[in-house]
Amino acid sequence: MKIDLDSIDPITSDLDCLIIGLFEGEEEESSALNRVKDLVGDSLDVLLETGEISGRLGNNVLIHSLILNSKNAKGLKRIIFCGLGSRQFFSVARLRDGLAPALRRARGTKCNSVAIDVDSFLGDSIDLSDAIEQTAQACHTGLYRYETFKSKKASSNIEDVKILIGKDEDLSNLHDALNIGIAIGQSVNLARDLANGPPNVVTPSSMAEVAKGMASQHLEVEILETDDMDALGMGALLGVARGSAQPPKLIIMSYFGDQSSENVMAFLGKGITFDSGGLDIKSTVGMRTMKGDMAGGAAVLAAMGAIEQAKPKMNVIAIIPATENMPGGNAQRPGDVVTAMDGTTIEIDNTDAEGRLVLADAVCLALARGANKIIDVATLTGAIRSALGEHCVGAFGNSSNFTKLVIEAGESVGERIWELPTYEEYSRQFESDIADIKNSGGASGGAITGAMFIGHFRGEADWVHLDIAAMSISLTTRGEIVKGATGSGVRTLVNLANVVSQTAK
């Protein structure tokens, strides 16, 4: 799909469709709507009066301009009026959620070329650059399909998108917004592809190959093998990997955009490419979606691609411990004791609490590589769904200022995050009788104890854990979200890198 900025007149151009955004209660005041009245005639007033054309969020009305006004033998063929809801609540997430269904509607009517009146998507807190960036993202994420293994692929596709701007606009800054929007949209879709992929295809080795394919002048990629991890003393990660025939991989991606600074931020992603639960095996229903247990690792990997393109002036190291959790003959057992990279001994209380084990060693490696700020992203617990439902990510941290920074970085790009407590009393739940700690604190406060287990290894670094288990997959298509993997976390990480870069200037 080609996405460009253009100043053409959509009315006289041979376009398949024009998309116009409408705010609820402001429909008749819309300058974009009034510009097309001559094209479609009096029928537009009737549709407005009956409420069929409305700015109600999610309302999309398609009209065929050539049918309504047969005088126009050439030119624009269709118009979609896209409801954006109340201006009071308009946000970048609302923009994407409003535009994405309209784009799918256009695709469903076999439109090949689409123009978007970007001025009609401006809000009180969304300027032209913001609108262009979010529009470019939505073109990718809203039109996403996962068809890799479909013998018969969908025949309808939008090939050309023109984001309409005025002729006197400063194209240099606007092109930057367009390009970063495209990069982020593609990165979200890459994370979706990885998490949607079947586990016999998306293995630790294939994730490592994807990462290696992203290596560039500004992004170094290193893959640690079993012997490398063993030499580093990563007994927690290797204990999880023991039950699988697939070799584990530790993926390290390094972006150094500020050679003058020793500050390093680490992004860690849980990369369990399939989680059977190990010997504490999951139920049939519980195992069904476990190909997506590497969604945190997918988000981190994909975010690094967008960061490499945006080139913020800061240093980021991404670490993705990738392995399966399987009940093979050599699998670790409940009651085993393993030793993490920093020497901490861990009693295995539950083999299905494996994500925190691989991330413990990843945290240790991040510290060894000089990280002083650490964010880990993981589909860690089912308990987070019980705590927060399916509308926001759970956050846990040891520094109120850093946690607030991460939450605000997510909120400002439309990824809701809510902080939960990390009171010291919860750590008593994973005290062990025979080792330093155990890997499960029981059912009570499960999301908290799982997070705090990872935080136990943070050293002196500022640390935030993002539990995306409830947000990493959607069972329905709604707004910008397409059924399946969501790519949760990608935008937060990319924006956090940008925010930290801007703060440092």
**Domain residue ranges in the chain:** 2-169, 198-470
- Residues 72-83, mean pLDDT to the nearest whole number: 82
Residue 477 contacts by C-beta under 8 Å, 6 or more apart in sequence?
483
- State the average pLDDT for the chain: 95
* Tokens standing for residue 115: 């123009």
Residue in 87, 282, 313, 385 annotated catalytic: 282
Strands 249-256 and 219-224: antiparallel
Residue 10 contacts by C-beta under 8 Å, 6 or more apart in sequence?
18, 76, 115, 117, 162, 164
pLDDT of residue 14: 86
325-344: pLDDT as tens digits: 999 999 999 999 999 999 99
CA–CA separation, 139 and 142 (whole Å): 6
pLDDT of residue 353: 98
Amino acid at 246: Q
> Quick check: 128 pLDDT over 50?
yes
Q: Pick the residue with more confidence: 490 or 153?
A: 490
> Quick check: 215 pLDDT over 70?
yes
How many Å is the maximal CA-CA distance in the chain? Answer: 85
pLDDT of residue 66: 60
Q: What percent of the chain has pLDDT over 90?
A: 88
Whether 2-169 and 198-470 share one fold: the answer is: no
pLDDT of residue 75: 78
* Tokens standing for residue 110: 């076999």
Whether 228 contacts 250, CB under 8 Å: yes
Residue in 356, 373, 438, 458 annotated catalytic: 356
Whether 251 contacts 211, CB under 8 Å: yes
Superfamily of domain 198-470: Zn peptidases (3.40.630.10)
Q: Which residue has the tokens 């990280």?
A: 371
Q: 231: exposed, middle or buried (C-beta count within 10 Å: 0-12, 13-18, 19+)? A: exposed
pLDDT of residue 283: 97
Residue 356 annotated to the active site: yes
Burial 414-434 (b: 16+ CB within 10 A, else e): bbebeebebeeebbebbeeee
> Quick check: 505 pLDDT over 80?
no
Which CATH architecture group holds 2-169? 3-Layer(aba) Sandwich (3.40)
* Tokens standing for residue 407: 């939450």
Q: Which of 70, 79, 46 is nearest to 164 (CA)?
A: 79
Q: Which residue has the tokens 């946000």?
A: 91
